[in-house]
C-alpha cells in the first residue's frame, strides 16, 4: 500500500508527516517519503477511502469512519502520537454573545464532547 502524503501550502511545522512519525516511532525513514501527495487532508482521506493507500491524519477527522468500519488503523493505537496543537474557540470579551452565538457554542461543545468520547473509546491510552 502506498503512503499518502498531505502537503499543505503553508510551512506549518505542526503537521506531522510520515517521516516525522517514523522518527518518533524509531523507524528508518528513507522510504517513508515516497508516495502520492495531496494538497489537503480531505483529498488524501478520500483517496484512502477509495483504497489508494494509507494516510496519516488527525483522529478527529476520521473517527466516524473508524467507528463505522469504513477505515481501519492498520498500525494500531500504539502507533498514535499526540498532536502539538489544539483548537480553541475564542471571542471578544467586550461583546456579549447573541442568542444565536450561544446556541452555536453549545452545539460545538456538545459535538466536541461526542467526538472526545468516541476518541477515548478508540484510543483510551492517549486521550
- Spatial separation of the C-alpha atoms in residues 127 and 120, rounded to whole Å: 6
Q: Residue 123 above 50 pLDDT? A: yes
CATH 1.10.150 fits 3-122, yes or no: no
What pTM did the predictor assign? 0.71
Spatial separation of the C-alpha atoms in residues 53 and 60, rounded to whole Å: 19
Q: What is the pLDDT of residues 42-100, one digit of tens each?
A: 999 999 999 999 998 888 888 889 889 999 988 877 777 766 667 777 888 899 989 99
- What are 66's three cell numbers? 473508524
Which sequence spans correspond to the domains of the chain? 3-122
Amino acid at each position: 500500500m502506498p503512503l499518502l502524503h498531505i502537503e499543505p501550502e503553508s510551512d506549518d511545522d505542526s503537521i506531522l508527516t510520515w517521516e516525522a512519525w517514523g522518527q518518533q516511532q524509531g523507524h528508518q525513514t528513507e522510504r517513508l517519503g515516497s508516495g502520492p501527495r495531496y494538497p489537503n487532508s480531505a483529498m488524501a482521506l478520500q483517496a484512502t477511502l477509495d483504497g489508494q493507500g494509507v494516510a496519516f491524519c488527525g483522529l478527529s477527522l476520521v473517527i466516524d469512519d473508524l467507528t463505522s468500519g469504513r477505515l481501519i488503523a492498520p498500525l494500531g493505537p500504539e502507533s498514535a502520537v499526540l498532536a502539538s496543537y489544539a483548537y480553541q474557540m475564542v471571542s471578544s470579551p467586550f461583546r456579549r454573545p447573541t442568542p444565536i452565538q450561544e446556541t452555536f457554542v453549545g452545539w460545538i461543545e456538545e459535538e466536541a464532547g461526542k467526538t472526545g468520547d468516541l476518541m477515548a473509546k478508540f484510543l483510551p491510552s492517549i486521550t
